[in-house]
Amino acid sequence: MNDAGNQQRPVLAVVGPTATGKTGFAVAIAGLADGEIISGDSRQVYRGMDIGTGKDLGEYGDIRYHLIDVADAGEKYNLFQYLRDADAAVADISRRGKLPVVCGGSGLYVESFLKGLRLPTVPENTLLRESLAGKSLEELTDILSGMKRLHNTTDVDTCQRAIRAIEIEEYYLEHPDEAKEAREGVPRKATVIGVDVDREVRRERITRRLDARLAEGMLDEVRRLLDMGVSPESLIYYGLEYKFLTEHLLGKTSFTEMRRLLEIAIHQFAKRQMTWFRGAERRGMHVNWLPGDLSREEFARRALAIYEKEHGVIWVK
């Protein structure tokens, strides 16, 4: 990435845990302020993974969006690629005089982007990978914990991710100048709006949404991805819906047990997301929390009023 971020328009980011209505609020903001949306979701980048990732493309109407469906299912799209592509999207949106609206709940992606981190291309370390291949996830987590503070729990979701995270940290130890640049970055000008939803309300929404997605054909979506040649290991790597539905289709769980375990996992995921964003506040990211029970138009107007106050410009058509 280049230094264009400082010449780009200030970003308005809508953040918060799953099932808080972020997409609808972001669309309302973009509609009111002549903006375009940049997804801040680490799984919506994949084509064919629609229901399980909650793309809800019908909500966008005529609002243009970016970083959705930019990689094939089965690929391993990563933070390096996201930062590169999100930076290009902001530059493109700004050049056309639009407001960049980042929307998502992947805390690592959004926080790293707003901090202006630049990541070097870290090559594979074959010898390191071979030395770690037989270790358990617990052992890998201990190794990684000794190398850095684990803000990002997704680093240790699977052995594969943990090994890659160790590989990156090992590279940084050998290239301290690149590590310093990666960890410091130049913060972007941005207004961050958090969607504040009562925990019990959020839990109810998660349960209703899970059943709705299952009824919509989420299991068929996973079956279709497997039929297309996406490996079970890749789908399990993506976590949550794709992990649990794949394991069910492999005969490891009954439908009832799969649904029960998946619901628990989504609730835990939402809690981790909130923990991440609260932690991001302690790490210096100012979040303006707005009630999630506002109408979309009222939410958008309040968000844009905060943006105007922080940056001295408003984008209402």
**Beta-ladder partners of 190:** 11
Q: How many residues does this entry show for the chain?
A: 317
Residue among 25, 194, 1 at smallest CA distance from 88: 1
pLDDT, tens digit (0-9, with 9 covering 90-100), for 139-192: 999 999 898 876 555 566 678 878 988 998 999 899 888 877 776 678 999 999
Rounded to the nearest integer, the mean pLDDT of the chain is 91
Record the pTM: 0.84
| Those residues with Cβ within 8 angstroms of residue 37's Cβ, 6 or more apart along the chain or in another chain | 26, 27, 30, 60, 63, 64, 65, 66, 101, 102, 103
pLDDT, tens digit (0-9, with 9 covering 90-100), for 56-100: 999 999 999 999 999 999 998 988 899 999 999 999 999 999 999
**Beta-ladder partners of 287:** 192
pLDDT, tens digit (0-9, with 9 covering 90-100), for 107-129: 999 999 999 988 878 889 999 99
Rounded Cα–Cα distance for residues 56 and 63 (Å): 13
DSSP element (H, E) containing 291: strand 287-291
What is the mean predicted confidence (pLDDT) over 133-142? 93
SS3 (DSSP) at 78: coil
pLDDT, position 2: 36
pLDDT, tens digit (0-9, with 9 covering 90-100), for 288-314: 999 999 999 999 999 999 999 999 875
